[in-house]
Chains A and B, each alone.
Chain A
Amino acid sequence: MALINFGFKAPRERDDRVPPGQSVVTGWPVLTYGPTLKVDTATWSLEINGSVKKPITLTWESFNALPKTTLTTDIHCVTRWSRLGMRWDGVLLDELIRQAGGLMTDAHYVIASSYGGYTTNLPVVDVINGQAMIATDADGQPLSSEHGGPARFFVPHLYFWKSAKYVNKLTFVDRDHPGFWEINGYHNHGDPWREERYNGDY
């Protein structure tokens, strides 16, 4: 039973779309652990490798020639803000996996790696079936470098540190490898509805 802070009251209007412990923001905060990277689309590439049947490396042109999808949804940051109803455009992971010839049977996790060395790990079941994309646009604008452009991983049903900025490689593996924040005290999975914030939360 939590301690009650008498006089503290819930805001009048609560939105069902907001997970527990989150507050809605209208701006878009920036969180990056180091300097913002400037990634040039002329040299940009995206590698899909590991337990896929035909590892591929896409250039900016070949990536953008793939069919794009629009996903309108909410995003949730572990620092307790949520942004509702954003429009995101990009290429679904399902399409990228198809381009790479499909997954091998031992592909249980995906490790997203970024320019600058950031990594994050996710179960494959969290990134297939229309749940995740490599996004290039948010709210109709190309992603700025502050927000991880030219392309970032986008897995909106998990806390947003899983949506790696500046992503340039997705490696499918059979065993889990905790990434940057996952070894720095954050939860390995990161479901906002279960408040999987820190290592040790559930």
Chain B
Amino acid sequence: MDTITTETLGERSDIMAITKPTSWRIGTVVSILSEAPGLRSYTFRFEDKVQHDAGQHYEIRLTAEDGYQAARLYSAAMPANGTSNTLQLTLALMPSGEVSPYIFSDVNVGDQLEIRGPFGGHFVWNSTIRRPILLVGGGTGIIPLRAIRLSHQQCCADEDIQLLYSVKSYDDMAYKYELFPRNGTPADDITITFTGPPPKGWKGHTGRINETMLEQALYSFSTPPITYVCGPTPMVESITQMLVRIGQDEDDIKAERFGPAS
């Protein structure tokens, strides 16, 4: 780890050099949390501190013995404000992919992976954005939105935020322990809709996110929010079009699309 010594107002302070995002760093797996079938959160520890804006992503690179390399992008699942050496990435298993099947089957706690980042300067949130926030996610699109929600809670808990999350079933839900504790209902800022069979006794929304749900969320704010939409491409397409139709300014919508389309 490099350190730079600077003179600040006559006082000596050691400021850690921020590692270049493009430099590959070695992260040691310190925990693997099973979130849902085919969805796991990997926490890595680095030698130096980790800092990113919520919504940013990292690359994991694998290298074979013959030198062949493959890398994939993964969103940070938790905020990192530069005080800790850990990074959490939530990975979805792509059964025919190159990177996630190896990680799911061969990487255990204590193993090391090459990681670099953070990247992405648009689908991000930080505390300089003084606007109410509407988060709309489907499936694994919840990953960067969860980081945004946690980051927002850390700095600006008294400001308005709403999360609208569409997921197939309770079993498929990521971060259940946080978004939907087993014995309760979602937190006040969270609306969930189940696109498949809902849990027993569920009285909330079912089916895909529709215009009514979006209208309820969008107009619950006293001033227009910035909306972050993340999920599979067809879902993001339909939601961003609906948002524009119900009156949201296109410039206030940030979108991130996952997965292939035709």
How far does the alpha carbon of A25 sit from the alpha carbon of B114 in the complex, in Å?
24
How far does the alpha carbon of A199 sit from the alpha carbon of B20 in the complex, in Å?
10
Stretch at the interface among B164-172, B194-202, B254-262: B254-262
Is A5's CB under 8 angstroms from B106's CB? yes
Q: Which residues of B contact A126 (CB under 8 A)?
A: none
Q: Is the interface of B mostly helix, strand, loop or mixed?
A: mixed
Q: Which residues of B contact A31 (CB under 8 A)?
A: 257
Is A80's CB under 8 angstroms from B253's CB? no
Residues of A within 8 A of B (CB-CB), count:
41
Is B21's CB under 8 angstroms from A200's CB? yes
Category for how many chain B residues contact A: 35 or more
A2-32 near B? 1/0 per residue, CB < 8 Å: 1111111111001000001101010111111
Q: Which residues of A contact B257 (CB under 8 A)?
A: 29-32
Is B240's CB under 8 angstroms from A2's CB? no
Whether A35 contacts B63 in the complex (CB less than 8 A), given A3-B114, A9-B68, comes out as no
Q: Which residues of B contact A6 (CB under 8 A)?
A: 65
Task: Say whether A146 faces chain B, with CB atoms less than 8 Å apart.
Answer: yes
Is B112's CB under 8 angstroms from A23's CB? no
Q: Which residues of A contact B71 (CB under 8 A)?
A: 21, 80
How far does the alpha carbon of A21 sit from the alpha carbon of B69 in the complex, in Å?
6
- A128 CB, nearest partner CB in chain B, Å: 30
How far does the alpha carbon of A108 sit from the alpha carbon of B26 in the complex, in Å?
40
Q: Which residues of A contact B250 (CB under 8 A)?
A: 34-35, 116
Within 8 A of A (CB), among B100-121: 102, 106, 112-114, 119-121
Interface residues of B (CB under 8 A from A): 20-22, 24, 26, 61-73, 98, 102, 106, 112-114, 119-123, 233, 237, 240-241, 243-244, 250-251, 253-257, 259-262
